[in-house]
Chains A and B, each alone.
Chain A
Amino acid sequence: MTSKQKIFYFIYLHRTGLTVTGLSLALLLYPVFENNPYTLGLTNLIAINAIVVLGLNLFIGYAGQISLGHAAFFGLGAYGSAIATVTFNIPAWPAMFLVAGMVALVALIVGIPILRLSGHYLAMATLGMNFVFHSILLQWDEMTGGPSGFAGIPYLSFGSFAFDDEIRLHYLIWGFALLALLLCLNLVRSSVGRGLAALAGDEVAAAALGVDTRKTKVKIFVLSAILASVAGSLFAHTYSFISPDSFDIFVATDFVIMVVIGGMGSIWGSLFGAGLITMLPEWMDIFETYKDFVHGGLLVLVLLFLPQGLVSGIIDNIKIKVTLRRRKNAET
């Protein structure tokens, strides 16, 4: 190999690590160049959504299932942290992990029966779950504050260092998002991840390769619920006010749209999907006013033309083109 080839090979071999390092550096320096609190607030929101979408993409894109109910886990995390810290005076950090543990348990109890379903039935069941959760938030007002929401949630802090401005929150939230990204990237590059990919491809084939399909689906469901719960806790501590509207079925479908836009089965795509859908209403007013139309329209277009999702669909196509060209060159 020439030294140029060696460099390329090194980059190819360590592409995941290098990209993560690059992204981390960019995020580390980002607040130096961007100090508009509004913009930072938006990118923070992207990170919170990305954490949910990463988990959901494992469930939808890798395990091949569908959930229209992840806003419920997101909301459980948010309300869990709010109630634990304000009502029960539990310190915020332990509360966050405690809540994540409880959400995991809820996901396990819900997941074991409903993951026997698949396709449309699973979509309806998870949608129903989100409805139930949303109704509880609205009705149980002595605990949740009802439709008027829950205010006065404290910021996360280390001693007297509170994550109370956008720049501090940027490091906190993106720290969590990068950690989630890294864990998910590691997961999909292992034999567990390949088992998941097999499961998304063909359930019978996956089982014949030794994948315990039922258990794997439940495990991934629980994992994605934990990620959503952590994102919810961060959401609550960031805005210090939460209301049921942030966790209704439209939010749940938005999470699914983020997965689809980014690309099913693409971890990096999850970041892109979360970013694009979070930013769209900011870029153009028309997207804000007709948000549901735009989101629905995007979903239909992507599913019609790139059923694997926008980013991974494009990447797949490029890969195929490159491979075919190489084969052609090799033949001539």
Chain B
Amino acid sequence: MLRLEQVSKNFGGLPALSNVTFPVAQGQLTALIGPNGAGKSTLINCITGVLDPSQGSITFQNREIAGQPTHIISRLGIARTFQNLKIFPRLTVLDNVLTGLTSEGGDSMLMAMLRLPALRHRERRLRLRAMEALDRFQLADKATWPAGILAYGDKKRVELARATVGNPQLLLLDEPVAGLNAEETAAVGEQLRRLRSSGHTMLLVEHDMDLVMELADRVVVLDSGKCIALGSPDEIRRNPLVLEAYLGRTEAIA
């Protein structure tokens, strides 16, 4: 579904990604792991068009998306969450989730200003879908709250609800459980499991190895901007290069 070929990104001559190649298969959860500074977030930003890759190609459903503007990529059906939460604190929880349906709401300003019956119907449908999404994430009772006052874990779930409400083709999750306690992590893990079993394709960036090893179909390991390993969780667990990247030289722990 998504293919990265030889993707490189330099920041002023400093290579953040070099020749990264891997696929994300339809209906699978692919995990992207690696030590801090390995280039994981840079890679997500390249896929979503926040950054333009210096070289290489990124194809989504056989369509080249490298260098396309972010909103175009989003409208193709790629949704994401952010490592450092980007919810809208002044909007209500419901409105936050509704922003996830922006591209389905139509962008005619004139239509919106006249608020014709057709638009009202559409608004009502979108609202229902947003409420369903809130239900899935146990947030329905907080729908009218300003999102800014929610607890951190709830904010993360708002972001997940917003990213999934539009039924995206591909879901990019940038550290969805970072900063959560064990209980909240388990809850988000449960959500991801449910998303996977309902056929969502996901690319998950995560430091929580237990979660990654449990959920992932495939694991991609980045280190210093290079893709050093690719395989099933079991293969990755036994891969000496991965151990080295995470724990230092193998002799040291042998």
| Chain A residues within CB distance 8 Å of chain B | 183-184, 186-187, 189-195, 197-198, 201-202, 204-213, 216, 219, 223, 265, 308, 316, 319-320, 323-324
Give 1 or 0 for each of B122-160: 1 = CB within 8 Å of chain A CB. Answer: 010010000000000000000011101100000000000
- CB pair A197–B88 under 8 Å, yes or no, is yes
Comparing B16-24, B90-98, B194-202, the segment that makes contact with chain A is B90-98
Known: A197-B95, A204-B50, A316-B90. A209 touches B113 (CB 8 A): no
B70 within 8 A of A: yes
B99 pairs with A209, CB closer than 8 A? yes
Residues in B neighbouring A319, C-beta threshold 8 A: 146
For residue B179, CB closer than 8 A to chain A, the reply is: no
| CB–CB A186/B112 < 8 A | yes
Can you identify 14 A-B contacts, CB atoms within 8 angstroms? A183-B113, A186-B112, A190-B112, A191-B126, A192-B105, A194-B99, A201-B89, A209-B74, A209-B100, A211-B102, A212-B71, A319-B146, A320-B146, A324-B149
Interface on B for A, CB 8 Å cutoff?
48-50, 69-71, 74-75, 79-80, 82, 86, 88-91, 95, 98-109, 111-115, 119, 123, 126, 144-146, 148-149, 162
Q: Which residue from A184, A186, A187, A209 sits with its C-beta under 8 Å from B102? A: A209
**Extra 18 A-B pairs, beta carbons < 8 Å, given A183-B113, A197-B95:** A190-B123, A194-B95, A194-B105, A195-B105, A197-B88, A198-B102, A202-B86, A206-B99, A207-B49, A208-B48, A208-B50, A209-B74, A211-B71, A308-B90, A316-B90, A319-B146, A320-B149, A323-B146
A114 to B: closest C-beta gap in Å: 20
Cβ–Cβ contact B102 & A190, under 8 A: no
How far, in Å, is B40 (CB) from chain A's closest CB?
Answer: 17
Query: In the complex the two chains form, what is the Cα distance from A219 to B91 in whole Å?
Result: 22
Decide: A210 and B86 in contact? CB cutoff 8 A. no
Contact B71 A202 (CB under 8 A): no
The binding surface of chain A is classed by DSSP as: helix
Collect the chain B residues with CB atoms within 8 Å of residue A209's CB: 74, 99-100, 102-103, 162
* Contact residues in A for B74 (Cβ distance below 8 Å): 207-210
Chain A residues in 8 Å Cβ range of B104: 191
Query: Most chain-A Cβ atoms within 10 A of its Cβ — which of B100, B102, B162?
Result: B102
Question: Which A-B residue pairs are the 6 nearest by beta carbons?
Answer: A191-B105, A210-B103, A190-B112, A207-B70, A205-B86, A201-B88
Q: Which residues of A contact B146 (CB under 8 A)?
A: 316, 319-320, 323
Distance to closest chain B CB from A119 (angstroms): 19
Judge whether B70 and A204 touch: CB under 8 Å. Answer: yes
Q: Find chain B residues with CB under 8 A from A194 CB.
A: 91, 95, 98-99, 102, 105
